[in-house]
Amino acid sequence: MNKVFINALSALTDINDGATLLLGGFGLCGIPENCITAMIKKGTKNLTCISNNAGVDDFGIGLMLQNKQVKKMISSYVGENAEFERQLLSGELEVELIPQGTLATRCMAAGYGMPAIFTPAGVGTEVAIGKEVRTFNGKEYLLEYAFDADFAFVKAWKGDSEGNLIYKETARNFNPLMAMAGKITIAEVEELVPAGTLDANQIHTPGIYVHRIFEGKNYQKRIEQKTVRPAPLNL
> Which of 149, 160, 171 is closest to 210 using CA atoms?
160
Structure letter (DSSP) for residue 56: B
pLDDT attached to residue 235:
61
Question: b vs e for 133-150, b when ≥16 Cβ sit within 10 Å of the residue's Cβ?
Answer: eeeeeeeebbebebbebb
pLDDT attached to residue 229:
85
Structural domains in the chain plus CATH codes: 11-215 (3.40.1080.10)
Pairing of strands 47-51, 70-75: parallel
| Rounded (to 5) percent helix, strand, coil in the chain | 25, 30, 45
Span 22-62, pLDDT tens digits: 999 988 889 999 999 999 999 999 999 999 988 888 899 99
CB atoms within 10 A of CB 2: 6
